[in-house]
Structures are given as C-alpha cells and as structure tokens.
Chains A and B, each alone.
Chain A
C-alpha cells in the first residue's frame, strides 16, 4: 500500500482535517488518510467517532475547518465542486434517502443528467450502471416497490452511473439479509473503482477490504491490514470494536486487497 503520490495521484488524500459543528461540538481532530487508486479500504470506528462527518467532507458537503481534502489530486473547494461530486460517489445508509425519483431509471439518470448528459448517451449510462448491480430489469419500477436489498443495489447504481473515482459506502451491509449481503459483496468485488467502506460489520470488512483504518475520537487511531487489525484484541477493545460471536479472523484466509 504505497501512499506515494507518484504518477497517478491517489484517489483520496485527507490531511490534518479538523472540523467543529456550528454548535461548537468538535467531531474531527486532525484526520490523515490516503487511499490509493483501486484500493478497497474499510473505515471502522465506534458510534460517534466522526465517521459520517468525515464522509461528508469527501465531497464538500461540509467544509474543512482546518486541513485539506484532495480527490484524485484536486483540492475540494468551490471551484472544483461539480467535478468532485461526480468523482466521489457516496452511497448513503438509507437507500430511501438516496432514491428520491419516481422510478429506478430516473433515479440512476439523475446524477449523469445533472452533469449534462442527455438522450441515448444518458440511457446507455443508466443501463450500464444497472447491469453492474444486476438490476436492469427493474428500471421502470418505482423504488418503493423494491426489496431493501434491491434498493441498496440501485443506490449503488445511482452512484456508479456517474463513473466515480471513489465509491464511499456508508454501512453497506446494514439491514441486509445474508443473501443480499453476499450479492452486494460480489458486486462490490467486481467493480473496478476505489472503495472506502464505512462499517460496523467487521467480517464484511475483512471479506472485502485488504486494508482498514480505525477512526476513533476524531483521529485515525490505526491503519493496517484488516486481518492484523481484527486480530489485535487490545486495540479492538480500546476502540469498542467487537467481533461477532464465534468469529475468528485468524481462521479466515483472505484474498482481497
């Protein structure tokens, strides 16, 4: 995992990021994180560690109080905002928030259309994204007629349609039944994009991401191979991270990365 910004700039470069909400509550205290192109990284951390706050900085919804965020070498600021938002695809936790259009097709089309795509090109982009998540047959359906797992997949498609540089997933496995959970994992593995996955689901992180970072009390407290992190019991305990009953990260052979 080289963090060297060599010829290809890393997908994501966060340095010294600090942020306090207008009410004075400070959530981030100097976050440093670099995610190379094509990497899949899990962002772990207890509730209230500032994970969502960090995510909202990645596409400029929140403005850094101190420090900087760069996406594919571009600083996140007003000038680049449209391009940044195209490149950073955030999949929010509740697909109902993300799927706000009357039909699946229109929802997937929203992003590219906002970017100026029209007509056949737009249609093609939509179908391509839906195919990537295996939902092309549902294009004409209203989102609220889909199952939760299907809605989550469409939510991923809405973001993929924008051909993002980095896919940011907030709790992708929450509320999914085991089959949907596996299907989503297969989809994520098949994609050729950088992935930053915010999750409490440690086995899922281990399955999908070679590298993991722990965000705790507003800073990156650990950054290592996922398997090594999960095996470090004192570290895990210190950050309120617990493995599910009967799960032993040592016993798993991982080939992701």
Chain B
C-alpha cells in the first residue's frame, strides 16, 4: 500500500476518459457502484452486462486489460472468503463437483464476488485515468468539506516524504544488524514509529509556519477551478445510466 506506489496507479494517456473532468468521473463511478450494489443477485446476466460496460470504458481509456486485471488482485482475500461461504452458510444443500455445498452460500459467494469485483474494477479505472491532484480537485468540486480536501492533499504530498523517512530508518536499523523477527523486537519498531510520529508532527508545524508566512489564514486560496460542460457530464453519465437501465430490467425480470 502507501503513497510510495501512488505514481504507479495512474497511467498517463490521452483518451476521452482521461480528459473528462475529475468530478464527473468520481460521480459516475460512485453512481455506477451504487447501481451495481443495488442489483438483485439472481440477475446473473446483469452482472455480465456490467462487466461488458467496464470493459468498454477500459478499451475507451486505452488501459491494457492486463493492467486492470493485475490491480484486481487486491480483491484476492475476499475471493478466499467468498469461496468459503458455500461451506459455512447453513441451508439447502446441493452437490457440486462431488462436494456438498449450500445454495444460499453459493448465492452469497456470487453476490460478494460479482459486486466486489465490479466495484474494484470501477475504482481502479478511475484511479488509473485520473491524476492524484485532479482527484483532489474533483472531490473539492463535489463539495467534500474543504478541510477534508486539504488534509487529503497534505497526506498525498507528504506520504512519500514520510514513507521515505521510514525507509531510511529501517535501513539504518538493518545496517546495525537489526532484523525484526519476533515480539522482542516490537519495542524497536515502536520506537521508530514514535520517532516517525515526532518527525511528522514537527514537519506539520514547520509546514504550518511556511503556510502562515505566505499569508495562509485558515483556508486554501483558489488556484485552479475545474469545470465541466454539459457534454462532459453527458459523457460521464453514460456509464451509470446504462448500468441503471440494466439494473431496472434486472428488478423487473
């Protein structure tokens, strides 16, 4: 995890998807996921259509399928969890490949897998077509409280700096022959964490001084405004609207 990988999340490119304003994309992804989650699990075909929609956007954004699939791996722990459901959920039993499994369990597993995967895929698409600071601007535009946006923006800015500090401390530890291998060593790790906190906090104080020195009085000056035209909104809404149509059909069928 960590901001150290942050720059790998975004895939630079120029595509209709890259060029959409960030707040449109954020809203579209969110609505899409909401629609997916609200779809009845029995409408198996609906999820297939959703997957096709995602694949379509991926192609439009010229994101290689491999890239997307690799990022989907984040879900693996849940796959494991989902695969267990058929065995632990009580209810009507059926036989599958010679194993006795429960029907509600199978449905549960399918539900979590399908919805979880689609959710992850949508988020991954968003992160790989939108730059970090654009995302922040988008969140701001979507009326996330400015203070939260500021906190997030400082977190992104200093995530790398602090991760680097942590790495240096770890190298210093290892250079002196320390290898964290058991409970006895937690004390050392915690001391490092303590030192890291003090450094982070003191840096926060210095950053605050630097901000105040340049006229900061509690709110960020507006430097960039992101705006979206009607057409851009229309493009962005294509995904959730199509999904909504699928979902409605799923409920009625």
Contact = CB atoms under 8 A, between A and B. Distances in A.
B216 A114 contact: yes
Nearest to A102: B133
Interface in A43-89: 56, 59, 61, 82, 85-86, 88-89
B206 A94 contact: yes
Contact of A61 (B213, B215, B224): B213
Q: How many interface residues does chain B have, given as a range? A: 20 to 34
Residue of B157, B209, B210 with highest tally of chain A CB at under 10 A: B210
B183 interface: no
Interface residues of A, number: 33
A144 B207 contact: no
B87 to A, nearest CB: 48
A5 interface: no
A242 interface: no
A39 B215 CA distance: 25
Given A97-B207, A102-B133, A102-B153, A90 B213 contact: yes
B154 interface: yes
B95 interface: no
B10 to A, nearest CB: 11
Contact of B212 (A61, A118, A122): A61
Contacts of B224: 106
Contacts of A111: 214-215
A85 B206 contact: no
Interface of A is mostly: helix
Given A92-B209, A94-B206, A118-B222, A103 B133 contact: yes
Given A94-B206, A102-B153, A144 B221 contact: no
B217 A102 contact: no
26 contacts: A59-B213, A82-B215, A85-B214, A85-B215, A88-B213, A92-B210, A96-B203, A97-B207, A100-B157, A100-B158, A100-B210, A101-B153, A101-B157, A102-B132, A102-B133, A103-B133, A110-B223, A111-B214, A114-B215, A114-B221, A122-B223, A142-B133, A142-B157, A143-B157, A158-B214, A162-B215
